[in-house]
Structure 1
Amino acid sequence: MAYLAPSEFVVKMVDAGESKIFMSTRDTLIRAYMAGAILALAAVFAVTVTQQTGIPIVGAALFPVGFCMLYLLGFDLLTGVFVLAPLALIDKRPGVTIGGVLRNWGLVFLGNFLGALTVAVMMAIVFTYGFSTPPDKVGAFISGVGERRTVGYAEHGAAGWLTIFIRGVLCNWMVSTGVVGAMISTTVSGKVIAMWMPIMLFFAMTFEHSVVNMFLFPAGLMLGGHFSVWDYFFWNEIPTVLGNLLGGLAFTGLTLYSTHVRTGPKRVVAEQRSLRRVPA
C-alpha cells in the first residue's frame, strides 16, 4: 500500500484536529450522528454473528467493517477527536483554544449519542416485533451485557470503577491507533487494513468504547435489562469516556506528536558539540 512516513501522517493528524475545531456546528453534529449510528449497527452485526456462530472472535474480526465505513466517509467519533483536536492546541495553531477543543468534544459526544440512540430504538423494535414480544436471542444478550457491565462493576465498588476506567484507556489506545491508520495510506485498501487490526483487537478483548456503549446500554434498558440510567452513566459511560480520553491522547496522540513533530535533539549533534570543546 502507498505508505506515508510517520513525520508526514502525524502532521496530517494535527491538520485534521485543526479542521475539526473550526468545523461548523451543523457539520460537526451531522458527521458525529452518522458515526454513532454506523458504529452501533456494526456492534449489532458483531453481536449477531457471535450469537449465530458461538465464536466471539468471528464477531470481533467482522466488527471493524463499521469503523472503516464511517472513517472512509469522513464521519467523527468521540474517541477520534479526543486524540486529534488537542494536538492542534498543543501545536499552537492560530485561533485554536481550549474552548474550541471542548466545544468540539461536546458536539461530537452529543451527535454520537443521538446516532447510537436512534439505532438502539430501531433495533429494540426489531428484536421485539415492536415491543409486542420478549426480545429474541440477540436482544436478550444485549440486555445481559448492560447488566454485567454496570451493576456487575458496581458490586466491586471503587475497584469496579477503576477497572472500567482502565478498560477505557486500553480501548482508545487501540481505537485511536485505528484512527491514525486511516492516515498512513493513500489507498482505500491500505487504509482499511491499517484500521482493521487495532479495532479487531479492542473488540475481541471487550475493552470499553464510549460510543459503542451509547448503543448497548440504552438498547439494553429498552430490552428489559435490570439496571438504571444512573447505573449506565456512573458505572460505565463516565469512567469509559475518561479512560478513552486518557488512553487515546497519552498513548497515541502525544507519543506520536512528541517523537515525530517536536522531536528531541539528535545525539549525533550533541556528541559533535562535546568533541569541539575538547582541547587539541
Structure 2
Amino acid sequence: MRDENNTKQDRNEEEEGTAIEPRTNPDRPQRQFYIPSQIVSEFAEKGREHLKKPFTSQFLLAITAGAFMTFGAAFSILLALGVEAKGIYYLLSGFGFAAGYAMVFISGSVLFTEANVLVPTYLFNSFSYERRSILKFWLSAYIGNIVGAVLVAIAIKLSGSLSEPFYTELSMYIENKMKFLKHGTVGWFQILLSGILANWLIGMAAFLTTAARDITGKILGTALPVILFVAGNFQHSAANMGYFSLGILSKPDYTWYEFIFFNLIPASIGNIIGGAILVSLLFSYAYREDIKEALGNK
C-alpha cells in the first residue's frame, strides 16, 4: 500500500512539473520551478484563457493593470528620491516599479506588454483562433491600461498625498524618457528599438515569474528584469503610461500629443516586436516538440 501511494504521489508531482528526479534517487532534491518548455506551454494556456474571457472582464483587468503601472511609477520615484549614488538609485527605482509588475502578474491583470508574449505564444502553438477576437483583446488591453493609469494618476493628484519634491523628480524621469524627441526621425526609431529591448526583458520577467512556484520566487523573478529595464531607460509603453499620466497632471514640459506620438506609439510597436519575436517565437520554436506534446497538439 505504501509503494502504491508513493507511485501515485510521484505521478502527481510529474504532472505538476515539480519533480526532476524519481524518489529512487534520494540524493537529488525535487525541482521547485518549471522548465522552459513548461513555461512556454503555460504562456500558451494563459493566452488562450485571456482570449476566452468576456470583453468586460478583459477591459476591467486591463484597467487594473494600468492602475498598478501608475502605482509602480510613483513607488519607483518615492524609493529613489534624494539618492545620489547612481547604482543604488537605479536599484531602488527599479525595485519600486517591480511592485507594480508583481501585482499585475500575481493578480492575473491584463497588461499590454505581457499580452505581447502570451497571445503570440498561443498563436504560434495553435491553429484555431479568430483574428477579430485577438485584435479586440489587444485594443482592450492597450486602452484599458491607459484608462487605469490615468484614473490612478488623477486620484493621486486630487489626494494631495505627494509633495513638491516628488513632482520635481518626476519631471527628471520624464525628461529622460523624452530625450529622443531631440533626435527627430532617428529618435523615433531609437525609441522603437529601445521598446524591443524593454519587452524582451518584460517577457523574461513573465518567464521567470511563471517558472517560480512560490510568491517569493515570483516577486524576485519579476524584480530582476524590471530593475534592468528601468536602469537602462528602455522604453516600455505600459510603464511610460504610468509616468506620463502622473506628469501630464503636474507641470508638464511636454504635451499629450508628444507623449503619444513621439514615445508611446514607437515604444508600443517595439514592445510587440520584442515580446512576440524575441520571447514567444524564439522559445516556441526552440521547444516546439515538447510544447506540442504538453498541449496535446501532436
TM-score, shorter chain, exceeding 0.5:
yes
Aligned-pair CA distance for 1:53: 2.7
Deviation at 1:262, TM superposition (A): 4.7
The structural deviation recorded for 1:252 is 0.8
Q: CA deviation at 1:198?
A: 1.0
Q: TM-score, normalised by structure 2?
A: 0.80
Q: Which residue of 2 aligns with 1:154?
A: 181
Q: CA contact under 8 A between 1:217 and 1:232: conserved in structure 2?
A: yes
Where 1:208 maps in the other structure, the secondary structure is coil
Q: Does 1:9 align with 2:9?
A: no
Using the alignment, how far apart are the partners of 1:62 and 1:163 within structure 2? 26
Report whether the alignment pairs 1:204 with 2:231.
Answer: yes
Alpha carbons 1:89, 1:98 under 8 Å: kept: no
User: Given that residues 14 and 87 in structure 1 are in contact (C-alpha distance below 8 angstroms), is that contact kept between their aligned partners in structure 2?
Assistant: yes
Q: Contact (CA 8 Å) 1:127, 1:136: kept in 2 or not?
A: no
Name the residue aligned to 2:217: 190
Q: Match for 1:69: what amino acid?
A: M
Residue 266 of structure 2 corresponds to 239
Aligned to 1:219: 246
Paired residues of 2:191 and 2:266 also in contact (CA < 8 A) = yes
Q: Deviations over 1:75-99 (max 9, x none)?
A: 12100101111222222243x1222
Moved more, 21-30 or 116-125: 116-125
Distance 2:152 2:58 in 1: 19
**Deviation per residue, 1:208-258 (Å, 9 max, x gap):** 111121121232122111211211111101001001111111111111101
Q: Is the 8 Å Cα contact of residues 147 and 225 (structure 1) preserved in structure 2?
A: no
Q: Structure 1 stretches of 5 or more lacking a match?
A: 130-134, 264-280
The match for 1:49 is: 79
Question: Do the aligned partners of 1:127 and 1:139 also contact (CA within 8 Å) in 2?
Answer: no
**Equivalent residue, structure 1, for 2:205:** 178
| Residue 144 of structure 1: how far off its partner (Å) | 4.1
Alignment correspondent of 1:74: 108
Counterpart position of 1:25: 55
Aligned partner of 1:143 in structure 2 is 171
3 and 147 in structure 1: CA distance in 2 versus 1, 3 angstrom threshold: closer
Q: Which AA in structure 2 matches 1:31?
A: L
Contact kept in structure 2, 1:124 and 1:139, CA below 8 Å: no
Aligned to 2:98: 64
1:118 maps to what in 2?
Answer: 151
CA contact (8 A) 1:21 1:104 kept: yes
- Taking the aligned partners of 1:228 and 1:261, their CA distance within structure 2 comes to 46
**Partner amino acid, structure 2, of 1:211:** A
When residues 38 and 218 of structure 1 are mapped into structure 2, their CA distance, relative to the original with a 3 A threshold, is: closer
Deviations 1:81-131 (A, max 9, x none): 01111222222243x1222221111001111111100121123334588xx
Write the distance in 2 (CA, Å) between the matches of 1:196 and 1:224. Answer: 30
* CA distance in structure 1 between the aligned counterparts of 2:214 and 2:200, rounded to whole angstroms: 24
Structure 2 CA distance for aligned equivalents of residues 190 and 226 of structure 1: 40
Q: Cα deviation per residue 1:40-94 (whole Å; 9 max; x = unaligned)?
A: 1011011111113332322223321221122111112100101111222222243
Rounded to whole Å, the distance in 2 between the matches of 1:79 and 1:141 is 26
Give structure 2 stretches of 5+ with no counterpart: 1-30, 291-298
Percent identity over the alignment?
A: 24
Decide which moves more: 194-203 or 53-62.
53-62
Distance 2:174 2:223 in 1: 26
Partner of 2:21: none
